A and B are shown apart, each in its own frame.
Chain A
């Protein structure tokens, strides 16, 4: 019962936080000068034989349902209208894409999720053995190598990594296309060929995603494994004369799973958030790509939707991590 109470309490708290986050973001978006409508009005007014900027402004404001003056009532009224519509699932039309926001979202989220999911699986598969090896041979050359690689991956600027990967694999070796989701002859391929072509174009982006986040995974596994290996019950297990293999995989590893599962659970919502740099630099039309261009253009409906979505994902991640922590480890009492 207490678990349920805890969850409800956390949910209510999250909703309150979400409300304020959205309020801040909305006010920020409204008060910024990069208004989509102003830019559009300027463009239209600059065309020959056109109406004046003011007239365009008036007309466009009306058709976009947005008043340009940032009075207190306008901004806050706008925010409550937005929230009211959002609660009913109506996020409006994206100005930049000229499509309903939810449609843009459903068109782009799939590829982002696939990339995120595959790279998460790869990260877990690669980092767990490496982390365990590093912890078992603490202070050895292997340990130092793995640790340095982990920190190096954490310190890699994404854009630099992508440029390097492109130089080596696309230009020098010619294995992959520089950008894009499908090859040139995609339309002539059989359905299986199309699948392979799409997969082929996702290789470099996924390698990028794995490399930039694998560092923190390896460190996390290693730290937790070290903690467990220093515990008394491991000494007992060794004293009992158990084989090293059994000590590590039966006693130590199972206990490191507790924080690990929590960590994985907490990062699940992040799979939907998209990868801004990777998607834009490989020009993969996922949610990160879509959001970047709408943000730069000042497309309020889509940006608001995306940021709300991100905020919810963050809150959800924390919540899942907390709950899992209690569920997986019976010693933890939720308070």
Chain B
């Protein structure tokens, strides 16, 4: 191969010899002849170009792409989230004045008395008086007329939730509302009240409101404004399914209302913008091949996947060739019982069904939850160890025939050491066949690796590989609707394997024109 350098045109030398007859016919070294024959083969050239493109795509592409291998993308989606709940109050609630006379047992008795429409009731030897103050509003008093508490269904809430209503104000407000009055005064202050139940101070400032609905926020940290609550109540009364409400901050949201008869509860759902993984988004300017199921850029994944697939192919072939050359070389050179033993080992390895073995090992690694990175190393080792026998057999066959040739007798006569004879004189002569079989083997290895990754037993998730990218196709929905998820990876895989096979063919023809197909 070193002779190649000589033919690189040295202009001066060329001129010097240009008139010489035997220089007019260009003499090419064997290496140059091989290269010439190879470059003349159009199909092989196409294959070579495809391979170069694949390498650039995988190894340079990863550097050029603006995205990372595992970079996630998000999109904003409108989602209805539970926001608040409204319950119509159907139970009596109780308040009491200062003092403990209105205990919970008395409250229960009060409830009973209301149901029985009784005006007095007794508990623990004490008599109580029940006064109806209005629709669904009662006060409870002792026999001497001291009011100890009240029972009500309408709820009086204040605008400023930090203000605690005292008993008198609450009772007065509820009474005024129940009786349809438009004002009341309690605890030294005057209030107005309208038919909707809004309570204002006499200066016209909103103070509170009375309603039979309780509106509570779903999340603890959300504060519902009075205005919103009123809007909700209004919509419930109107029987609406959804409504639009503009909050104090000027943001307009759409709300959905749904009633659940089991719990007697209205649920208010707010339509909010939520960040979700941008999965299966179709090809766009930002993502040329869309995004995959994890919301990662498909084109970038393909680049890194190609890197993994090609690297695994090369490393596996390297391991297989390394073992194959050493064992095949030893076997062919020494012959005899060494040859016999090594060849029987080769026979045994030939007979081991490799795909099932790799599947079993892959499943075992699954079970052990091996780290994806270490898993990849194991995978390469396994495939390499299962792949060497073919190369060993070929090397041995070549060496057996080369051994008998005269140049080997010459090396022996020169007294060269055995290792030098094998690795310096025999192996280089096997290299042409070796290159061909490695090139063809690369295609096969990439296929095996992708098949395993497809089954989920090879390269695993954080790492991409063309095989595990196609894996998504097992989902019929993806098969049907998202061509960009699996077709590009499949085409890349097919092209790469095809190119390796064609280049291998071309190399074989170039090395040995007599053997031409």
Is B480's beta carbon under 8 Å from chain A? yes
Residue of A nearest to B495 (CB): A155
Contacting A at CB under 8 A, from B336-361, are 344, 347-348, 350-353, 355-357, 359-361
Given B351, B451, B480, which contacts A157 in the complex, CB threshold below 8 Å? B451
Contact B476 A222 (CB under 8 A): no
Given A24-B352, A291-B356, residue A17 in contact with residue B494 (CB < 8 A): no
Residue of B nearest to A292 (CB): B359
Given B352, B476, B502, which contacts A178 in the complex, CB threshold below 8 Å? B476
Is A34's beta carbon under 8 Å from chain B? yes
Contacts between chains A and B (CB distance < 8 A), count: 121
Contact A160 B470 (CB under 8 A): yes
Complexed CA–CA distance, A142 and B235 (Å): 77
Is A242's beta carbon under 8 Å from chain B? no
Contact B364 A33 (CB under 8 A): yes
Q: Return B355 CB to nearest CB of chain A, in Å.
A: 7
Chain B residues with CB under 8 Å of chain A are 43, 344, 347-348, 350-353, 355-357, 359-361, 363-364, 366-368, 443, 447, 450-451, 454, 457, 467, 470, 473, 476, 479-480, 483, 486-487, 490, 493-494, 497-498, 500-502, 505, 517
Given A155-B498, A157-B447, residue A34 in contact with residue B351 (CB < 8 A): no
Contact A157 B450 (CB under 8 A): yes
- Not counting A144-B43, A276-B355, A307-B356, a sample of 9 additional A-B residue pairs whose C-beta atoms are within 8 angstroms of each other reads A17-B344, A17-B348, A17-B351, A34-B364, A152-B498, A160-B470, A160-B493, A171-B479, A295-B360
Contacts of B450 in A (CB 8 A): 157
Residue of A nearest to B457 (CB): A296
Residue of B nearest to A134 (CB): B517
Q: Return A71 CB to nearest CB of chain B, in Å.
A: 19
Complexed CA–CA distance, A307 and B353 (Å): 7
Given B344, B356, B470, B502, which contacts A306 in the complex, CB threshold below 8 Å? B356
Given A144-B43, A155-B498, A226-B517, residue A25 in contact with residue B490 (CB < 8 A): no
Q: Return B232 CB to nearest CB of chain A, in Å.
A: 44
Contact A25 B357 (CB under 8 A): yes
Q: Return A228 CB to nearest CB of chain B, in Å.
A: 13
Interface SS of B by simple majority? helix
Contacts of B451 in A (CB 8 A): 157-159, 277
Closest 8 CB pairs of A and B: A160-B490, A34-B367, A155-B497, A32-B364, A34-B364, A155-B498, A310-B353, A296-B363
Contacts of A18 in B (CB 8 A): 351
Contacts of B363 in A (CB 8 A): 34, 295-298
Binds B, one of A79-87, A119-127, A162-170, A245-253: A162-170
Q: Return A311 CB to nearest CB of chain B, in Å.
A: 5
Complexed CA–CA distance, A155 and B89 (Å): 73
Q: Return B115 CB to nearest CB of chain A, in Å.
A: 45
Q: Return B339 CB to nearest CB of chain A, in Å.
A: 15
Chain A to chain B contacts (Cβ below 8 Å), 12 pairs: A17-B344, A28-B360, A32-B364, A34-B363, A152-B494, A157-B490, A157-B497, A163-B473, A163-B479, A171-B480, A223-B517, A315-B351
Complexed CA–CA distance, A17 and B483 (Å): 47
Contact A29 B348 (CB under 8 A): no
Complexed CA–CA distance, A39 and B356 (Å): 20
Q: Return B18 CB to nearest CB of chain A, in Å.
A: 36
Contact pattern, A 132-151, Cβ under 8 Å of B = 1, otherwise 0: 00000000000010011001
Is A40's beta carbon under 8 Å from chain B? no
Is A45's beta carbon under 8 Å from chain B? no
Complexed CA–CA distance, A16 and B355 (Å): 22
Q: Return B22 CB to nearest CB of chain A, in Å.
A: 33
Contact A156 B494 (CB under 8 A): yes
Contacts of A158 in B (CB 8 A): 451
Contacts of B502 in A (CB 8 A): 151
Q: Return B119 CB to nearest CB of chain A, in Å.
A: 57
Contacts of A166 in B (CB 8 A): 479
Q: Return B406 CB to nearest CB of chain A, in Å.
A: 27
Complexed CA–CA distance, A157 and B366 (Å): 23
Given A158-B451, A171-B480, A307-B356, residue A151 in contact with residue B351 (CB < 8 A): no
Contacts of A156 in B (CB 8 A): 494
Is A154's beta carbon under 8 Å from chain B? yes
Contact A222 B357 (CB under 8 A): no
Given B43, B348, B359, B494, which contacts A295 in the complex, CB threshold below 8 Å? B359
Contacting B at CB under 8 A, from A284-300, are 291-292, 295-298
Contacts of A155 in B (CB 8 A): 443, 447, 494, 497-498, 500-501
Q: Return B83 CB to nearest CB of chain A, in Å.
A: 38
Q: Return B447 CB to nearest CB of chain A, in Å.
A: 6
Contact B476 A33 (CB under 8 A): no
Given A155-B443, A157-B493, A277-B451, residue A163 in contact with residue B486 (CB < 8 A): yes
Complexed CA–CA distance, A293 and B364 (Å): 13
Q: Return A222 CB to nearest CB of chain B, in Å.
A: 7
Residue of A nearest to B369 (CB): A33
Complexed CA–CA distance, A292 and B447 (Å): 18
Contacts of B493 in A (CB 8 A): 157, 160
Is A21's beta carbon under 8 Å from chain B? yes
Contacts of B497 in A (CB 8 A): 155, 157
Contacts of A267 in B (CB 8 A): none
